[in-house]
Each structure stands twice: as structure tokens, then as C-alpha cells.
Amino acid sequence: MDQNNKPEKIRCDACPVMCYIAEGKSGACDRYANKNGQIIRLDPLVILNKCIENGMKIKPFLNENWDGKIIPDKDIFITAIGSGTTYPDYKPAPFIFNRKIDNIDFVTIVTEAIFSYCGVKIKVDTDRHIGSERDIVRYNGESVGHVMTSEYGSQMMSLGGVDHLTGSSKIEGKMTCEVIMNLCNKEAVELTIDNGSKIIVQAGKPPIINDVKENKMRVGCGSATVGMFASQWRGLVDEVVIVDDHITAVVSEHQAGKVLGWESTGISINGRRSTPGRYFQVANPGSGWGGTDITDPLTILKSWNEKKGAKPGLSLLMVSTTGEEYSYYILDEKLIPQKQPFPNKLVDTVKLIEENCEPALCTVLFVGGAGGSLRSGVTKNPVKLTKSIQNKKTELTSGGAFPYIWPGGGITFMVNVLDMPENAFGYVPTPAIVAPLEFTLTKENYQNLGGHVDDIRTIKDIFLNGGEYGKDKKVLEDD
């Protein structure tokens, strides 16, 4: 074939990579393609259809399959998923549409925003030690984040951020972008933590730590567990120890036990005594009992004191904060605990702890900072949009989900990916994450913001003309 007769490649301007794309091919991001000499968006536009009889449904925007029936404006919400971007930023957003709700004119502006300043915060429900604070988290061997502070019954991680995406090596940026996108699209990813664990994380699913699936999130620390269940053990056993990496508790010394009239047993615990019946640092963090590194709970006990109540025949229950590990002992003549068959009278009390433990899950929150560039797709004066959001005159959503908006300057938001439709996130090879944003406000306020009012379209127009990227649109009037 004559080289001069080859179809001409055309340039896509949907992101800073500016791919040259041949006919029938897609760009590096697999989101845009050359069809008949025009750049088009490959993924469908996602529309939320709120019908009273069917609840909330998510359906793809496929112009050729539309049956021509117009759904009332108030039941339709066009998301930014599949809409396209505003890059190179001077352009209006891909879809700016008008609808009436309770006879008030609203405008919604949708765009797929390109984020370099973004990441995910991950909450992993487990007592198991996955790594120490500030330990590096790796994906496919590359540094993509770090372990954060532990929270009540959970371990926290922070992945991504501009330093990992663009401030290090090319492969680190690529792996960071990949892991953020996969996590946000609710896929399972395997992470390794320096000096810590291997962990499989997936939004809404139990974590798998060192090939073991977590089932329960602890009901509370050892002290809280005593406070909740001490009355259940009164009269059934002489002493109870709740083993916990945070606060290990001893019923006979604890205030809850004192209120119930619990007698002293002469027990003595390793670790640093905080307040009566509450002990810190009884063992190192780990994947054993109560998030410690022990498999034998007796290792946290010192010698028993006969002068303070220890005596042969004294019974002891040791249990973890999830109720998953438990043992029963009797002191022998030398005041040494000897393990015994677990008595039926205590089975229900241990089950009660476990029943009060919630399922262990992974939570993935996308965090992004919406910069000035994408805001210009909404208004010619971007700072006014920021102030309008801060003043709650403009409602921000992400794929139809309501995020938490951080106080202070700029538009920094955090959204639970489980609240969003499937495959809501993409990427560009710069590398950066592509996430949906929708801005909704009254038409009057939009005009006051200096918005792109000449580009407002009706829902009917969007249904009729589809959402090809870069195509001129005719603004149609409602019937």
C-alpha cells in the first residue's frame, strides 16, 4: 500500500499526552479513539435513572438504543462518568445541562477531572499488625504509600499523592496510578508492607492478611470489652483477662469489676500499668491474640500473689477482643495455671463478644484536590466556583455520590468508592487519575458565577445527540 494513502492520524487533546491516533485505534488511555476521523469517547455516559417503582438504576448511555421516551427531568441525573474532560481547560465542560426540580431551574455541569493531586485512604478492619506507622506500602514492588495511624479496631493506609505519581521514577508513578485506579474501581489488589504483612485489599470485602481472611472487627479494646461484659462473667469464673495489643484488661482490678464486687485474685500482668485493671504493651504487635504477637496467652502473666488472693483452684478465662481466641485455666497447688477443657457455662459469654463484633471490611476513600484548570470548564471565573461550593450554593457530587468536602481553601473532597457506579475511574498516562465530578446549582447562581450559559443543553438534546467528544452540539428547546 502506498504510504501516502494511509489514513491520517489525528491528535487527541483530551489530556496532556496528546496522542496521535490512527483510524479505528484508541489512545494510550484506551478512553478515546479515532472513528471516521473524529475523536470519540469510548465508554458510555452513565445516567442515574430514579424511578419510584424500580428504585435507583444505573444504565449506560447508548444513543442508538434509546427508545425515544423522555423521562421527567427530576428523575434523571447525568453523571460525569464517560463524559470526557475539559482539557486543555479553556473549553466548557463536556455536558452542561438544565433541568427543573419543583419548578426551579437547575444547571448541572459534568466533567471527568484529571487528578495528579489525589490518592486513597484505606481503612482495614483488623486487630492484626500489618505494619508500623510510616512503614512503606508497595504495589508490584514499587513504593505507593505508607501506613498511617491506627484507629479503633482498624489499621489505616494512605496511598498515592503527587509525590508518588509524578515526583519519583516513571515506574513508581505508573504503579501508583494503577493501584489507585484498581482500588477505586473496587478491584482486589495485593500490597506488601516493609517490615510488615502482605495484604489483599478490596473495597467492601474482608481483608486477607498473610493469606488469612479476617472475619471480625474487635468489639472494643480490652478495657471496653470488660466494661461491656463483666456482668456476664460474674459468678461463673474467678478472673477474666482480655488480651489486646492496645489495652489488656483484668476484670478483678478494673473499675467495672470493682463496682460488681469482684474479689482480688493476686494476678500479675506483664506490661505497663495505666489505670487499675488496664495495661499497655503486654506484648509486641502481631497477628496473634488481640493483635499481639503471642499465641500462648499465659506469656503475659507474671507469678500469682498468694497474699493478694491467689489460691489453688482459682479459675481463669483468657479471651481476645473478638472472641475468636479463648482458653480456660485452673491454678494448681503451685499457683501455676493449667489449661482445662472449656466449660459450657462460659460458651455463651464468649459467643456474646463475637456476636457484638462487626464484620471486618476494607473501606476505600478517594481523595482529590480539584484544581483551577477543571474549574474553568464550569465558569470563566474559577474562584467563584470554589466560594460557591464553600458557601453551599453549589452541590458537588462524584459519579452521583455525595463526598465530604474539606474545609479551607480549594476544592478537596473525599468520597467512598462503594457509593459510586462501577468503573467510575480511569487514568491518563501522564500519569494521573481520571475521576467524575458534577456541579449542581440554580441557573441564576450559574449565571452569577460567570458560567458557560451559551453551552447549556437540555436533557432531550443529550439523549438525541449523544456524547461524542469534540462534536458541536445544537441546543434544542424542550417540547
Helix (H) or strand (E) holding 443, with range, is helix 443-448
228, amino acid identity: M
pLDDT at 68 (0 to 100):
54
Per-residue pLDDT band for 257 (boundaries 50, 70, 90) equals very high
pLDDT reading at 329 higher than 90: yes
Per-residue pLDDT band for 160 (boundaries 50, 70, 90) equals very high
pLDDT at 301 (0 to 100):
97
pLDDT at 1 (0 to 100):
40
For residues 80 and 184, give the distance between their C-alpha atoms in angstroms, rounded to a whole number: 15
- Express each pLDDT in 338-376 by its tens digit: 999 999 999 999 999 999 999 999 999 999 998 766 888
Per-residue pLDDT band for 36 (boundaries 50, 70, 90) equals confident
pLDDT at 2 (0 to 100):
45
Pairing of strands 55-61, 404-405: unpaired
pLDDT at 50 (0 to 100):
60
pLDDT reading at 417 higher than 90: yes
Per-residue pLDDT band for 26 (boundaries 50, 70, 90) equals confident
- Express each pLDDT in 460-474 by its tens digit: 777 777 655 544 433
Take residue 82 and report the three cell numbers written for it: 464517560
pLDDT at 4 (0 to 100):
54
What value does the mean pLDDT take over residues 389-400?
94
pLDDT at 411 (0 to 100):
93
Highest mean pLDDT: which of 100-104, 108-112, 475-479?
Answer: 108-112
Least confident of 258-262, 375-379, 458-462: 458-462
Of 9 and 437, which is predicted with more confidence? 437
Per-residue pLDDT band for 475 (boundaries 50, 70, 90) equals very low
